[in-house]
Amino acid sequence: MGGLKGSIIAAMALLLACAAPATANVNVTALCLLVNNGVYVASQTDCTTYYQCLGTGPTAMSCPTGYYFDKNAQQCSSTVPSTCTVSSNPCQGKAVGTFAPSSSTCGGYYYCGASGAVSGRCPSGENFNPTTMACVYSNQYPCQDSPSTESGSGGTVTSSVALNLCNLVENGMYFGSPTSCSGWNYCQDNVLHSGTCETGKYFNVQQKNCGYQQSTSCSQVTNDPSLTGVTIPTTCTQAGTFKAATACNQYYFCNPSLNYQLMTCQTGYFYDTISQMCVVRTQARNDCDRCVGTSASFVNAYSTSNCSDYLYCVNGVQKAVETCPINYYFNENTGSCSNSVEPPFLCCNPTLSTGEATTSGTTATTAGTTAKSDGTTATTDATTSTTAAK
C-alpha cells in the first residue's frame, strides 16, 4: 500500500492553483454499445451531465442545479459521487477534508482543503482509488493513462488522461468489451473486473450474459481509441478530408474546426482508403486488423499482391497470419483455401478494377458516428479449423 498521508503532506506544502486537467473525450456512442438499452452512463468531464444509452445512440441529459449524477443510483443526487471530478473545479460539491481523483492521471488526486484543491500524486506504480480515497497498487484499481495531444498558443503538448470504465458505468452490471466479441466487464466497488465467455460463446450485451452467436454478436467491438487508450490524431489541415483509423471499421473526418472526429462505419462495413467510403468487408483496401468486428475464425488478409493469405481470428482479434498452398486462394465466404479462380475481393486482388467488384459502398460522412461494427455478414463458415482452412 502507498503512503498517502506522506503524499498529502508534501502536496499541501506545494499548494497550487488548480489548472483544468486534460479532457479524455470518451466516445459516448462507442461506450453505449457496451451496455444494454436504457442504461445511464456518467460523463467523464462533468458531474452534472449524463447519457441515456438507447438503440438510436446516446442522449445527453443534465441534472437540476445543485444536483450531480450518481451512476450507481442511476439518478441525480445532491451529493457528488466520489468517482466524478469537474474538470474546472475538482473539489466542486465535495466536503472539506475529502479527496477527488485527477482526470489527467491514474495516480493523481486532489485534497479538498478549506482554501481549495491541493494536487498530489501516489507513489510510483500505484493508482488513486476514489472510493476508498487511498493510493493502492495498480492491480487493485485498474486504470490506464491514455495519451492526449492538445494544441495551444504554446504549441502541441502531449499529456495523459485517466480512464477507468467503472467511473462511468454502474456497479454490479455486466457489460461488453470494446476489443473482444466474447469479453465482458463487471464493476464492483468501482473496480473493473474482466473475463471471457467459454469457447464458442459470445457476450450478449442486451441480455448481459454469454450465449451463442446472434445477428448482433460483436456489434460492441469498435476498438475505439478513447476506450482502449490508443493515441488518436487531433488537429487537421483541410476540412472535409478523411483519414484511416486504427480499427478497420472506423475513420477520421476533418470537421470545419480543423479537428479530427472519429467516425464508425455501419454494421458489417470497413473503411476503404482508396474510395474513402465505407464498403463491405471484402472490398475494403485497408491495411488493418480485419478480424475486428467478426465472429469468424478466418478472414482474408489485406494484400496488394494476391488473396493467398488469411488471418486466424479469436473473438474478433487477430492471432496469426496463415498462407494457402501455392496456387491456392483463400475465400472468407467459404472459410477455406481453393485452387479455383481468385476471389473478387478488392481487399487482396490487385487485378480487379472497382467495377469488377461489388463495392456496395456508402460515402463516408459525419453521419457514421452511431453505426456499429459486425462482420458476420461477410462470412458463412465460422467453425472451420486451422487445419481445414489450409
pLDDT digits (tens, 9 = 90+) for 65-110: 989 999 999 999 998 888 886 666 788 778 888 888 887 788 888 8
**Residue where a domain terminates, one of 139, 166, 193:** 166
Q: Are residues 245 and 162 in the same domain?
A: no
Q: Are residues 89 and 10 in the same domain?
A: yes
- Rounded Cα gap, residues 206 and 174, in angstroms: 10
Q: Is 289 within 8 Å of 276 (Cβ atoms)? A: no
Judge whether 201 lies within some domain.
no
Q: Is 307 within 8 Å of 316 (Cβ atoms)? A: no
- Rounded Cα gap, residues 373 and 257, in angstroms: 27
Q: Are residues 263 and 381 in the same domain?
A: yes
Judge whether 190 lies within some domain.
no
Q: Are residues 157 and 246 in the same domain?
A: no
- Rounded Cα gap, residues 40 and 49, in angstroms: 10
Question: In angstroms, how far is the first alpha carbon of the chain from the final one?
Answer: 52
Q: How many domains does the chain have?
A: 2
pLDDT tens for each residue of 286-319? 988 888 878 888 999 999 999 999 999 877 777 8
133 to each of 47, 71, 79, how far by Cα in Å?
18, 18, 16
214 to each of 202, 219, 243, 274, 294, how far by Cα in Å?
9, 10, 32, 32, 12
Q: Is 41 within 8 Å of 50 (Cβ atoms)? A: yes
Judge whether 129 lies within some domain.
yes
Q: Are residues 275 and 362 in the same domain?
A: yes
Q: At 160, give phi and psi (nearest 5°).
A: -140, 160
- Rounded Cα gap, residues 185 and 172, in angstroms: 10
- The residues near 79 (Cβ < 8 Å, ≥ 6 apart) are 68, 70, 93
pLDDT given for residue 284 in this prediction: 93
- Rounded Cα gap, residues 191 and 21, in angstroms: 22
The SS3 of residue 27 is coil
Q: Are residues 162 and 247 in the same domain?
A: no
**Which grid cell is 230?**
490508443
Judge whether 192 lies within some domain.
no
Q: Are residues 240 and 149 in the same domain?
A: no
Q: Is 38 within 8 Å of 152 (Cβ atoms)? A: no
Encoded amino acid at 322, one letter? E
Q: Are residues 133 and 17 in the same domain?
A: yes
Q: Which of 220, 140, 226 is nearest to 175 (CA)?
A: 220
pLDDT given for residue 8 in this prediction: 34
> Which stretches of the chain drop beneath a pLDDT of 50?
1-24, 148-159, 359-360, 366-390
Encoded amino acid at 303, one letter? S
**Residue where a domain terminates, one of 120, 148, 166:** 166
Q: Are residues 152 and 277 in the same domain?
A: no
Q: Are residues 44 and 158 in the same domain?
A: yes
Judge whether 298 lies within some domain.
yes
Q: At 11, give phi and psi (nearest 5°).
A: -70, -40
- The residues near 200 (Cβ < 8 Å, ≥ 6 apart) are 212
Domain that holds residue 295: 233-389
- Rounded Cα gap, residues 119 and 105, in angstroms: 11
Q: Are residues 161 and 257 in the same domain?
A: no
pLDDT given for residue 168 in this prediction: 92
Q: At 10, give phi and psi (nearest 5°).
A: -65, -40
Judge whether 19 lies within some domain.
yes
Judge whether 203 lies within some domain.
no
- The residues near 17 (Cβ < 8 Å, ≥ 6 apart) are none
Q: Is 378 within 8 Å of 299 (Cβ atoms)? A: yes
Judge whether 174 lies within some domain.
no
Q: Are residues 40 and 159 in the same domain?
A: yes
**Residue where a domain terminates, one of 166, 182, 204:** 166
User: Can you tell me which residue has the cell 445511464?
Assistant: 40
